[in-house]
Each structure stands twice: as C-alpha cells, then as structure tokens.
C-alpha cells in the first residue's frame, strides 16, 4: 500500500514537471514570437524612412542654382558703369549682364578683353543648389603716361576714350613744369609729382607749355 502511494506521488510529480516544462517552452515561444513581431513591425517603418530620406537627398541634389554674371567699369565717376561684354561660363558664351540657371557645382567665368580697359581675371564661382551666386568683372581703364621735362614731352600724340582714359602727366625733373590745354586749363606740376586728367568730351586737344616750350601733345579723345 505504501509502495503504491509512493508510486502515485512520483507519477503526479512527473506530470507536474512535464506541465512546467511545457509552460516554460510555451513562454519561450511567446517571447520569441513577440520579438519577431516587433521586428516585422519596425522593418517597414525603417524602409519607409529610408525611402523618404533618399527622396529628400535626391530632390536637393537635383535642384539648380542661379549665376548672375556682370561686367562694370570702375571709371573716374562716382557711379558704376555697366558694360556689355562677351563672357564664357564653362565654355557657354553669354553677354553681360546675364542670369543663368545652372546645376549646382563650380563654374569658371572668363571675361573677354575690350578696348581701353584692362581685362579682369578669370573667376571661379561655386553655385549652390537653390541659391544665387555672382561673378562680377571690374574693368579698370588703361592709363596713358606722358613725361613732362625741360619744355618737352616724351610723346607727341595720344589716343584716349573721353570720360574713361586717365592721362597721367609726370614731372620727373627737379623744377616745376607748367602745361596748358583748353579743357584742363593751366596746370602746375611740382617736381617728382604727377597730374591725372580725363578728357571729358570728344575732340582733338593740344597740350603745350604756355611759357614757350617747344613740345606739344595732340590728344584725340574718341
């Protein structure tokens, strides 16, 4: 009787152990399934976010920028003079002023030479997406120099552009030099000094020494 009771208790204990093992395996499976479910939920979210980010980056990368190309003369006046000049932008020919819509990137702007002016250097300009960049070429007038010494000039004729070309009269001597021309009047240039004048109008003007020097300069203002 005691043996049979003991066997029954052992069988019940084995049954309980089997049930506990089943519950433990079931619990593990539930946890594993929960992880898989969570993973399956987040994978589409991650994919959607990746697509959105790619679309934003692609849209930004394909946006164009604006390049404004201008040419101006420094001149002798207080206001800037706009010039119509042929310009090359990465090989594309345009005339200033020009506004170009370009893909973002770096562009080389080359200004052409024009009479009476010093050609500005080439500009390398970065054009960002959705922004405006500027390439401005400043054309400085070419100066003309005349030496005044001992009642004579080192040059006898000049060709200048009226309102633009500076004529620099230089006195390299140790005494004052006085010159005269109707547009600029009588000018006294001290030793080792100079005087700059821009002829304001077209015409041919004679510059000479009012005291009776032998030299003169014919200035053709175009």
- DSSP-derived 3-state class of residue 12: helix
pLDDT at res. 57: 47
- DSSP-derived 3-state class of residue 185: strand
Residues forming beta bridges with residue 20, ordered by sequence position: none
Q: Are 112 and 119 in contact (CB under 8 A)?
A: yes
Model confidence at 15, in pLDDT bands (50, 70, 90)? low
Q: Are 143 and 168 in contact (CB under 8 A)?
A: yes
| Burial per residue of 37-72, b for 16 or more beta-carbon CB atoms within 10 angstroms, e otherwise | eeeeeeeeeeeeeeeeeeeeeeeeeeeebebebbbb
Residues forming beta bridges with residue 198, ordered by sequence position: none
- Percent over 70 (pLDDT), the chain: 69
User: Higher model confidence: residue 116 or residue 2?
Assistant: 116
- Please give the model's pTM, rounded to 2 decimal places: 0.67
**172: Cβ contacts below 8 Å, ≥ 6 apart:** 147, 149, 192
**87: Cβ contacts below 8 Å, ≥ 6 apart:** 69, 71, 93, 94, 95, 96, 98, 109, 110, 111, 112, 137
Write out pLDDT tens, residues 55-87: 554 555 558 999 999 999 986 555 678 999 999
């Amino acid at each position: 009787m005691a043996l049979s009771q003991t066997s029954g208790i052992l069988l019940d204990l084995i049954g309980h152990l089997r049930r506990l093992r089943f519950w433990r395996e079931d619990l593990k499976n539930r946890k594993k399934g929960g992880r898989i479910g969570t993973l399956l939920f987040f994978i589409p979210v991650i994919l959607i976010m990746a697509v959105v980010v790619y679309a934003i980056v692609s849209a930004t990368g394909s946006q164009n920028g604006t390049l404004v190309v201008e040419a101006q003369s420094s001149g002798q006046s207080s206001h800037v003079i706009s010039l119509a000049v042929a310009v090359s932008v990465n090989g594309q020919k345009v005339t200033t002023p020009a506004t170009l819509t370009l893909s973002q990137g770096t562009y080389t702007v080359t200004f052409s030479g024009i009479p009476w002016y010093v050609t500005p250097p080439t500009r390398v300009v970065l054009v960002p997406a959705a922004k405006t960049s500027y390439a401005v070429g400043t054309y400085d007038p070419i100066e003309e120099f005349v030496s005044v010494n001992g009642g004579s000039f080192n040059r006898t004729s000049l060709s200048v552009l009226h309102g633009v070309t500076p004529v620099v009269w230089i006195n390299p001597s140790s005494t004052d030099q006085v010159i005269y021309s109707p547009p600029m009047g009588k000018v006294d240039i001290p030793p080792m000094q100079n005087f700059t004048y821009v002829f304001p109008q077209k015409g041919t003007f004679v510059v000479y020494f009012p005291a009776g020097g032998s030299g003169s300069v014919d200035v053709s203002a175009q």
